Every structure is written in C-alpha cells, then in structure tokens.
Structure 1
Amino acid sequence: MSGKFKALLVKQPEKKVFTRTIIERDVDDLPAGELLVRVHYSSLNFKDALSATGNPGVTRNFPHTPGIDAAGEVVSCSDGSFAPGDQVIVTSYDLGMETDGGFGQMIRVPSKWALKLPAGLSLRESMMLGTAGLTAALSVYELEQGGVRPEDGPILVTGATGGVGSLAVAILAKAGYQVTAATGKMSEEEYLKAIGAADVVERNEVTQGSERPMMKPVWAGVVDCVGGEMLVAAIKSTKPRGVVTCCGLVGSSDLALNVFPFILRGVRLIGVDSAECPMLHRTEVWHSLATKWKLNALESMVEEVGLDGLEEKIQSMLKGGLKRRILVRLF
C-alpha cells in the first residue's frame, strides 16, 4: 500500500548532530510487518526524548521516527490477526526505538505487538496512559499478586510527579490503597493530593537514615520509579512480607544494599519490565485500566499537543521541566 502521511523525522547530518523536522513520508518507506495502523494518538516518554536527540542507548540508526506508544485504527493486517477498522494499542517492544514509531500518522509493525483497545477506553484515553500507565499498572498488579492489601498500611510511591509515579498514585488510590507520594517537587503537593495521594513527603524524609542496615518498617508496599538511594531506603523501611516494585533508575542503576530486609522481614523486590511484558499479562492489565482502575482524573494529568508542539516538549522533558504527561495528537 502506498500513501503519504506526516511524521516527525530525526536525521543525523553529521556525527553527534541530530535534526528534527516534520515531513511527509510514504507508507512504502515503513519497515516490514503484518499490521498497518493509522495512528490517532501517541504520548511523549523520556525514552522518546532520548531517541529524538540521538541517544545511542535507544536508537542507533537514522533517519528515524520516535514514539514508543501508539493507538489507532487498523488499515490492514496480512495475517488476519486484526480486521480493518479495529482499534488497537501498540506499545513497547521495539516501537520507536529502531522501528519507526508513534510520532508518525502511520506505523507498520508485527501483529503480535498490538492488542485490541479494551472496551471502556477510548484511543485518546489509552495514550493518556501509554507505556507509563502500563508500567504503573503492572506495578500495582504485582503488589496485588504479592498479597498486599489496602488494610495492610500505606503504599509509598517514589518519583511521584513523573509519568509512571503520578499514574501509580492515581491507580493505587482508585484501588483503595492509602498512598504516600515522595517527591523532590513539593510545589506539586496539591496536584498529587488531587490525583489520590493521602500524604506527600519530601524525598529526603524517605532516605533519612538509609545508611543503617535496617530502618523502621513503615510501608506495606512500594512502587519505586527512582532507583539508587531511594530504592535502598524503601526496601529497608518496608514492613514484613511487603512487596517493592522497581521500574526506574533516574537516581542510579546501582543498588547498595545488604540482605537483611529480605532474610529478616521477607521483603520481596520485583522488577517491572513493560517493554517485553507477555501479551496475555499485558492484555489483562489493560483490561483493568479500562474497568476497575479506570481513572477519572486523566484529563488533569495530561497536556495535549500536535506534532508541531513536540520539539518544545522534548527539550523541556530533557531539562526536567514538564509537570504533566504529554499526549500527542496525530490527526
């Protein structure tokens, strides 16, 4: 199939120089795959900002269209997994990394990367959530699977003003948990309480005393989006049989920790990986986001832009200046 569509294209005209322009591309230039999708919405993630500025840890081959999230309507599917007109979500895997992604009005991907939009969610709502929402929901799922109940005590969310953190706060509150949001941006206390946090604490309050082998047990569970010292402190201050999920490394990728919380309190540390999450598991969690965890506060948590508004938001994200998730409108 041939046809023109608009996309953000990142080029590398010379070594260590990357340019970003909105151009008209042809469907025939898209990579191989069974599924062709007309993208209605995407979202901006930190990984997208890195890809757009040439970070080799994300994308090495240019020209390239970033966007690890996409939601839209099936144009064609050569293996019959989907029918034309089906509404689908495509996130993670290699989308937006080395495979042209959701910052284009069309994507072509393996059909196994897509799932049908669950009843109860619109395409727009699905991308208000995106990979960040999926990661947050997977974290909450792991707490539930680990037997952490709302009556067991407060749940700590670190990096609470970030994309994953803020959505974790909202989902946990929707699920009935008492949430303590830890942040370095206390100016956002009102916002965090509006989306569901019962308490908001400065991050230094969480890490104070983390040099000790063990800390006072406070948290029934933790959703950690930071890593490093924050994760160490969270583990050391989790109650017996509590569950700590880990999905971030902005603080550090290192974990300077002894085994005492694990062997004396039975604390469980679970890594959350949304990129290669099995489709059965992924579908179950998206269904929960459309039903029991559906958020009423989504509109207040996002800012919507078109392709032409992405450059400003990419630069702002890299400087840590964004206060809300960025929803990208393709049409």
Structure 2
Amino acid sequence: MQMQKKINSWLITQVDKGTQTDYLELDSGEFLSNEIIIEVKNSALNYKDALAITGMAPIIRKFPLIPGIDFSGVVIQSNNKKFGEGDRVFATGLGLGELQHGGLSSHASTDADILIKLPNKYTHSYIMGLGTAGLTAMLAVLALHENSIKPDAGKVLVTGSSGAVGGIATKLLLKLGYEVVAMTSRPEYNRDYLKSFGNIEVLDTDDFLGNPRMLSKERWASAIDVVGGKVLENIITETNRSGVISVCGQVLGLNIVTNLAPFILRGVRLIGIDSAFCSHERRSRAWDMIFDLLDVKDVNYLSEIIDIKDVYERSKLIVNGKNRRRIITNNSN
C-alpha cells in the first residue's frame, strides 16, 4: 500500500526547560522510519501519557516525540516476514511514547519484536480498553496469586479503584473470587459506580493520608496500590502477616517513609510491577488470562472512547484525579 505523505499526530517538543504539546500534520517520511508501518485505529490515554502530554513529569526521554504508550491498528507496510500487510496488531509499553514514537497518531512505525497479533475475535477498541492498564492490573493480580495469596486469604485492598488500573484490577479480582475493598479519592462520586462491580466495600483515600504507626492492626491479606505516598505507607503497616502488596503507581509521589517492622515482624512483601519491559513470556501469560476473564461487555463498562483531538483536555482531568474509567482514543481520520 502506498504510504501517504502526511500523518496527523500529537507531538511533544522541548521548549526552554519545559515542553509543548500540539496536534499537528507531520511528514510521514520523518516520523515513520521503522520496519513496520501501522495505520492506528485506536490508542489509549494512560496516566503516564497524561503526565507527558501536560508536562507534569519528565516521561519523554528524547524530543520531539509522538506520545502514546499503547496502540492497535492494521499493518500497511512491512519489511519483516513476521507481519504482513493487513495483519491486525497491537503494542503496549516497551519504550513507546517514551524512547520511540508512540501511538497517539493516525499512523505508527515500529519494529516487529514489540508487536502482538490481535486475535480475530477482538476489536481494536477492546484491546485498547485494556492496554497497558489491563496488563499492569493482571500482572499485579498474578503477583498475589504467585505468592500464595488465594481468594480465601482475606480482604484485598485496591487503591485508585475508579481509575483504569485500579478498576481493571478490581474487576479481575472479583472474577477470580477475591474479597475486594475499593479505595477512591471521591467516594461520594464513585461509590455507586464501584458498587456496580459487585459486592465490595468502598473506602475514602482521605482516611489513609495521616502519618502511619510503626505497626497497625492487621486488615489486608494483600493490596494492589497505584497511589504510593502516605497511602502506601499506611497500607504497609496494616497488611497481614505474610501479606503481599503489588505496587504499580505513584499518583501521590515516588517517595515513601516506612520502617522495617512490617517486613521483619510480619513478613510483608512489596512487589514492584513493571508492565513496560516485562518479558515476552510473562506478557503473553498475562494477556491469555485477561482474555479468559474479561469479555467485551466488561471492557466496555470500564472504558470510554474519545476523539484523538480531545487528548490534551482529558489529560488534564487525569492528572488531577478527575477522570473515571479507561480512556480509548479514536485515531481514524
């Protein structure tokens, strides 16, 4: 297929000590230089993307760069035998939107080793309704299971449960039979939404922002935390003996202040979740589990589709904690 000369993309450039984000018409020859070119049907707007787009954190490692750590689309040119014209593919993480041009564009270009063929029964919007958020959530749940936290172990606390990663993690845990407690920063707004997931308790993030004790009463068999900061500090002191905390976010910051007592007196374990660069084998296992657990109806309920041109305004809502659900972008012209 003959490649068009222009593409429509978001582009982040460096300006003085800050960044500037614009939706532009770009020269395809300059930005689509890898072995495979994909016409992007859908992408997604992750928390990391929102930080990059608004300039709130130094996510981008080189400039100028097309943001977007996820995309799904159709191969229109390929110089690799692994993929041919017309193949439906998707990609998450692995440097997209950070080290190389990403998916918030009408077209993307990458090497074959980061692409996965999209099963025929799934749409591009379905896989982007999961994307990095879904993969992260599944890896976080897997970490509990692999460390002997079974559904009968007790309550599992999920922070940021009205957002993308937290919401998907909550749904996955419920599907697997766990007893879930959902934490949200706006319970008056999110309670009914979260209760619609199933029989779960809803807690207010504000109740976890005080200074923690050295050890508190045991409350949680395990937790999945996307928030960090004071919230994580308090969860550590409240986790049961031999409990596991999957850590996969830093909404309240990268730094925590804690003590050794929960770790050496209770055997609490913190496990970091790296969805961006995890191995192909682990990535494949996680996707197989997600496909088994979450159907199209689940993903549609957990997500919302917006036009790609609305990405900047929605990013501002995401970084300010005012967005609910997973955001899918419609990238078709």
TM-score for both structures, normalised by structure 1: 0.91
Instruction: Determine the C-alpha separation between the residues in 1 that align with 2:155 and 2:83.
Output: 42
Change (3 A) 1:105 1:203: same
Aligned 8 A contact 2:158 2:223 in 1: yes
Instruction: Determine the C-alpha separation between the residues in 2 that align with 1:324 and 1:35.
Output: 31
Aligned 8 A contact 1:66 1:103 in 2: yes
Equivalence for 2:300: 299
Matching residue's letter, 1:193 = K
Give the number of aligned pairs: 329
Instruction: Determine the C-alpha separation between the residues in 2 that align with 1:277 and 1:17.
Output: 29
* Residue 123 of structure 1: how far off its partner (Å): 1.6
Equivalence for 2:178: 177
Alignment of 1:314-325 (within 5 A): 314-325=315-326
Aligned 8 A contact 2:10 2:23 in 1: yes
Compare 277-286 and 54-63 and name the one that shifted more: 54-63
* Residue 177 of structure 1: how far off its partner (Å): 0.9
Instruction: Determine the C-alpha separation between the residues in 2 that align with 1:13 and 1:258.
Output: 41
* Residue 27 of structure 1: how far off its partner (Å): 3.0
DSSP-derived class of the 2:122 partner: coil
Aligned 8 A contact 1:170 1:295 in 2: no
Deviations 1:17-57 (CA, angstroms, capped at 9, x unpaired): 6241242x343222542222221110111222232234561
Equivalence for 1:190: 192
- Identity, % of aligned positions: 34
DSSP-derived class of the 2:91 partner: strand
Equivalence for 2:105: 104
2:18 maps to 1:33: no
Instruction: Determine the C-alpha separation between the residues in 2 that align with 1:262 and 1:15.
Output: 41
Aligned 8 A contact 1:195 1:297 in 2: no
Equivalence for 2:240: 239
Equivalence for 1:329: 330
Equivalence for 2:314: 313
Equivalence for 2:50: 49
DSSP-derived class of the 2:329 partner: strand
DSSP-derived class of the 1:64 partner: coil
Compare 39-48 and 192-201 and name the one that shifted more: 192-201
Equivalence for 1:116: 117
2:155 maps to 1:154: yes
Aligned 8 A contact 1:186 1:202 in 2: yes
Instruction: Determine the C-alpha separation between the residues in 1 that align with 2:121 and 2:285.
Output: 14
DSSP-derived class of the 1:231 partner: helix
Aligned 8 A contact 1:41 1:329 in 2: yes
Change (3 A) 1:211 1:292: closer
Change (3 A) 1:197 1:233: farther
Matching residue's letter, 1:296 = K
Deviations 1:310-331 (CA, angstroms, capped at 9, x unpaired): 2321232233322232210112
- The list of structure 1 runs, each at least 4 consecutive aligned residues, that deviate by more than 6 angstroms after superposition, is none
Matching residue's letter, 1:191 = Y
DSSP-derived class of the 2:68 partner: coil
* Residue 309 of structure 1: how far off its partner (Å): 2.1
Equivalence for 2:90: 89
DSSP-derived class of the 1:291 partner: helix
Q: Which runs of 5+ in 1 are unaligned?
A: none
Alignment of 1:259-278 (within 5 A): 259-278=260-279
Deviations 1:48-80 (CA, angstroms, capped at 9, x unpaired): 223223456112544332111101122233232
Instruction: Determine the C-alpha separation between the residues in 2 that align with 1:241 and 1:53.
Output: 40
DSSP-derived class of the 1:42 partner: strand
Equivalence for 2:66: 65
Change (3 A) 1:290 1:96: same
Matching residue's letter, 2:123 = S
Aligned 8 A contact 2:212 2:237 in 1: no
Instruction: Determine the C-alpha separation between the residues in 2 that align with 1:171 and 1:295.
Output: 14
Aligned 8 A contact 1:181 1:197 in 2: no
Matching residue's letter, 2:8 = K
* Residue 134 of structure 1: how far off its partner (Å): 1.0
DSSP-derived class of the 1:273 partner: coil
Change (3 A) 1:259 1:179: same
Q: Which runs of 5+ in 2 are unaligned?
A: none
Alignment of 1:274-293 (within 5 A): 274-293=275-294
Instruction: Determine the C-alpha separation between the residues in 2 that align with 1:27 and 1:196.
Output: 47
* Residue 153 of structure 1: how far off its partner (Å): 0.9
Matching residue's letter, 1:64 = L
Instruction: Determine the C-alpha separation between the residues in 2 that align with 1:178 and 1:255.
Output: 27
DSSP-derived class of the 2:288 partner: helix
